[in-house]
Amino acid sequence: MVMGQAEPAAAYPDPAAVWAALSQVPDPEIPVVSIVDMGMVREVKVDGEGVSVTFTPTFSGCPALHVIRQSIEDAVRGLGVNDVEVKSTLTPPWTTDSILPDARERLREYGIAPPAPAEGSLISLEPEPTSCPRCGSFNVRMTASFGPTLCKRLYVCDACKEPFEGFKSV
């Protein structure tokens, strides 16, 4: 039951509708989570009929920046908004702690080890202790500094012998 059906389409976009649309935008690298789940969307501003969205890229090394920018614009335009501004900011920097708890669980189900809490350190050059997403063993080894993208690392579990991807904690 939708209330207010008789009213014409709102001239002013509803920020909640913008957030809802953005929560449908998948992370370009991990389709089981959205950019909102990942904590990348920092601000939604509605000014008159225009909408501006500010996001922070998860990792500066990720090659998907332009994809995210375009996806955000498309999602907002999908609400009938023609005046869309998409801005990216690096301040404050995104950290793995920005990932919503619910999304961490989906990352695990997807087979990606959720990042260890960064505990305030923005950059960590040492591999974080991580556990195998399949058997939960902490007996894992990093096999390469970089996974298929700069955002992830490849690990192998010594308990179940399965390789898996893990996030770099930043």
Q: Between 137 and 145, whose beta carbon lies closer to Zn ion?
A: 137
The answer to whether the CB of 155 falls within 8 A of the CB of 100 is no
Smallest gap from residue 137 Cβ to Zn ion (A): 5
- The minimum distance between CB 157 and Zn ion, in angstroms, equals 3
Subset of 11-30 contacting Zn ion (CB under 5 A): none
Identify the residue whose tokens are 């976009």. 13
How many DSSP H helices and E strands does the chain contain?
3, 7
Count of chain residues binding Zn ion (CB under 5 A): 7
CB of 158 to Zn ion, least distance (A): 8
Assess 143 for contact with Zn ion (CB under 5 A).
Answer: no
- Per-residue contact string for residues 123-142; x = within reach of Zn ion by CB under 5 A: ---------x-xx-x-----
The string of DSSP letters for 89-118 reads: --SSPP-GGGS-HHHHHHHHHHTEEPPPP-
Q: Which of 104, 100, 101 is nearest to 166 (CA)?
A: 104
Q: Which residues of the shown chain bind Zn ion in the complex (CB under 5 A)?
A: 132, 134-135, 137, 157, 159-160
